[in-house]
Amino acid sequence: MTIRREDAAIVEVAVAGPAEVGESPVWDDIAGELLWVDIPAGLIHRWRPGAATVSTLRVGQPVGAVALSRTGGLIAAVRDGFAAVDEETGTVELLRAVEADRPDNRMNDGKCDSAGRFWAGTMAEDERPGAGGLYRLDVDLSVSTVLSGVSVSNGLAWSPDDRTMYYVDSLERSVDRFDFDAERGRVANRRSLVAVEVAAGMPDGIAIDSAGHLWVALWDGWAIRRYAPNGGLDAIVPLPAAQITSCTFGGPDLRDLYVTSAASGLSAADLRLQPHAGAVFRVRVDVPGAPAARFAG
Ligand code: CA
């Protein structure tokens, strides 16, 4: 099999940043705008491609992920749990606390499934193995524990036929797959799809295209990778920053892959080598994604 190394891919700096930890990019296909968060800074950004300015909402605590709601507004995985965010008023309302007994944990990556449930996981701030979990916020606002003993809960995606859920616990260095029951929101039969070699960095956020191929962001990997549904490595797109955190499809044809990155923890010497660390990049791809699913609660 040939692995395409797309050094000639069109990679642009879409938004210069710099973010401490840019994350959770999500395309608002109704507004034609990109949202993303800066986790430790507790910021939710919104930007219209081509605009010179970014509008920013201060959450008041770290925010791991954000998703759109069907009724307008946003749902977010903040440090303390699941929260509703009103962009008009700037109000952040904690709907359900998560792991209130574990103050050293915070929520991390999250995403909505096709039925409008919001899934998000947690991690210990010191990345202590096994301290976190994966949770599901149902449309009736009940919270279920999906997984416990998770280390750094990260990327989520569902196959176009909705029969498979993909999931990344970064410290496992694996992209896992589950059988997915879309009607009941249940997962079963976890197994590894892709074992990411140490030299390639740690798998972080993921996005899936309409052909069912997964794009995987690589923390400390200077790249995103595309994997086939059978786990085969299809393409590598090098990027001008080491800490690549996540990606999502946007633009009018959903073929602009927006990729977030982090400047956190880099020395002055590192930053001279990667002046775009913390930027949002845009990579033009051949196969489009699907519009982001919205929370139905
Ligand atoms: Ca992440």
Six-digit token pair at 253?
């044809």
Ligand 1 center–CA 206 separation, angstroms: 9
Pick the closest to residue 59 from 93, 92, 21 (CA basis).
92
d(C-alpha 63, C-alpha 108), whole Å: 7
Ligand 1 center–CA 252 separation, angstroms: 26
Q: Which residues contact 72 (CB under 8 A, 6 or more apart)?
A: none
Q: Is the dihedral angle over the CA atoms 81, 88, 32, 49 positive or is it negative?
A: negative
Ligand 1 center–CA 108 separation, angstroms: 6
Per-residue pLDDT of 222-270, as tens digits, reads 999 999 999 999 999 999 999 999 999 999 999 999 999 999 999 999 9
Core vs surface per residue 126-152: b (16+ CB within 10 A) or e: eeeeebbbbbbbeeeeebeebbeebbb
Please state the separation of Cα 145 from the chain's center in Å.
19
Identify the residue whose tokens are 């800066």.
38
Please state the separation of Cα 279 from the chain's center in Å.
15
Catalytic residue among 176, 204, 209, 256: 204
Ligand 1 center–CA 71 separation, angstroms: 26
Ligand 1 center–CA 170 separation, angstroms: 8
Cα–Cα separations (whole angstroms), residue 38 to 60, 107, 190, 196: 12, 13, 30, 25
Cα–Cα separations (whole angstroms), residue 46 to 56, 128, 169, 208, 269: 6, 32, 27, 22, 30
0.75 exceeded by pTM: yes
Per-residue pLDDT of 67-108, as tens digits, reads 999 999 999 999 999 999 999 999 999 999 999 999 999 999
Ligand 1 center–CA 39 separation, angstroms: 9
Per-residue pLDDT of 179-232, as tens digits, reads 999 999 999 999 999 999 999 999 999 999 999 999 999 999 999 999 999 999
Ligand 1 center–CA 263 separation, angstroms: 13
d(C-alpha 83, C-alpha 85), whole Å: 6
Question: For the chain, which residues make up each domain, given as ranges?
Answer: 4-284
d(C-alpha 262, C-alpha 124), whole Å: 18
204 as an active site residue: the answer is yes
Identify the residue whose tokens are 């996005």.
207
CATH T-level assignment (fold) for domain 4-284: Neuraminidase (2.120.10)
pLDDT at 2: 65
